[in-house]
Amino acid sequence: MSHPQPASSATLPGPAWAARLSAEIGKAVLGQAQVVERLQIALLVGGHVLLEGMPGLAKTLLVKSLGQAMGLDFERIQFTPDLLPSDVVGTLVYSPHDGSFTPHLGPVFANIVLADEINRSPAKVQSALLEAMQERQVTIGGTRHPLPDPFLVLATQNPVEHEGTYPLPEAQTDRFLFKVLLDYPSDTDELEMLRRWGSATRSPSVEATSNGPELLALRQGVDEVFVAPQIEAYLLALVRRTRDMAAPGTPGLRQLAFGASPRATLALYQSSRALAFIRGLAQVTPALVQEVAHDVLRHRIGLTYEAEAAGLSAETVVAQVLADVPVPG
């Protein structure tokens, strides 16, 4: 009697979808496999992502390619000092023929919105976008307009330029599921980039390989990933450890001025489930929680001046948190 063979990870809905999407985005963007995986997680849990990296690392191309591969409406907003909130969310337009006002919806009414160089615009404009991110709706002239579903904001910023910028306050960065750091490509990837796009007549071409209804259906699969009570306790302990490090009276060097918020706990829980789903796993493991911990926590903790003077960074503190909290067996 023959027994049915277990399905390979490539035939499961999560890994198959992730592989399709990665392959299509890879036609335009090389060497950012982990970043693409984080964007896939954000799509699956409905979270937003802050992308930080040096100029020329294809942040804009990556987001545009994601929208094309998903077959979703994509809008790019270039944040500048003279940008107005109405340029983002929309405004009322007066009609002189009948004296009426009709709403003109802004570029935020898209499935994927790229907020390019978000720290180039003042707080009023940043708040308009971040309110839409949180509430999933925009109020124009007293009327509420729901944003499309799925809705994802991908914001970029440059880590080295500070002249003429308006850094995002901690309360606003906390609304991003991830803060993802982009690095330079490897020698092999950069050489392949030259061979592909060195010609002036060639440009990346990405086709739709998924769609909104498929994404919304996949989210139900994420909710079916099992999280054991000891894993729940583990990720909660990680977040609470950051708060302990910020408590007054902490012996030795007080590294943190403030720890991670409850949003961090939810983000760890949701993103580790989504990572398990696209890896074809039925349950969350401690290793998966550790994989997403840096991207979830780095923008949700605040270093003290003493810690910065001692040469510490958010990366080293998160690494210490992971080392301090016992891993469940």
pLDDT digits (tens, 9 = 90+) for 22-55: 999 998 888 888 999 999 999 999 999 999 988 8
User: Could you say which residues of the chain have pLDDT below 50?
Assistant: 1-8
| pLDDT at residue 153 in the model | 94
Q: What share of the chain is helix, strand, coil (3-state, %, to 5)?
A: 45, 15, 40
| pLDDT at residue 263 in the model | 94
**Judgement on whether residues 25 and 129 belong to the same structural domain of the protein:** yes
Show the domain range for 246.
225-324
* Reported pTM: 0.90
| pLDDT at residue 92 in the model | 83
Please check whether residue 218 lies inside any domain of the structure.
no
Looking at the structure of the chain, the number of domains it has is: 2
Q: Is 154 helix (H, G, I), strand (E, B) or coil?
A: strand
**Judgement on whether residues 109 and 205 belong to the same structural domain of the protein:** yes
Choose one of 213, 238, 266: the last residue of a domain: 213
Could you count the other beta carbons within 10 Å of the beta carbon of residue 40? Answer: 24
**Judgement on whether residues 130 and 270 belong to the same structural domain of the protein:** no
**Judgement on whether residues 37 and 93 belong to the same structural domain of the protein:** yes
| pLDDT at residue 201 in the model | 67
In 3D space, the residue among 200, 189, 285 whose CA is nearest the CA of residue 235 turns out to be 285
**Judgement on whether residues 249 and 176 belong to the same structural domain of the protein:** no
Q: Find the helix packing angle between 229-245 and 262-278, rounded to 10°.
A: 140
| Distance from the first to the final alpha carbon of the chain | 37
Task: State the CATH number of the domain containing residue 116.
Answer: 3.40.50.300
Please check whether residue 329 lies inside any domain of the structure.
no
Choose one of 193, 213, 233: the last residue of a domain: 213
| pLDDT at residue 11 in the model | 64
- Tens of pLDDT, residue by residue over 78-108, are 999 999 999 999 988 878 888 778 888 899 9
Cα→Cα distances 184→32, 58, 253, 281, Å: 9, 10, 33, 30
Buried b (16+ CB within 10 A) or exposed e, 104-119: eebbbbbbbbbbbbbb
Choose one of 213, 242, 258: the last residue of a domain: 213
Asked if 235 and 265 count as a contact pair (C-beta separation under 8 A), the reply is yes
User: Is the Cα torsion angle 257, 262, 267, 269 positive or negative in sign?
Assistant: positive
Task: State the CATH number of the domain containing residue 269.
Answer: 1.10.8.80
Q: Output the six-digit token pair for 177.
A: 């599921």
Please check whether residue 3 lies inside any domain of the structure.
no
Q: Output the six-digit token pair for 88.
A: 């983002």
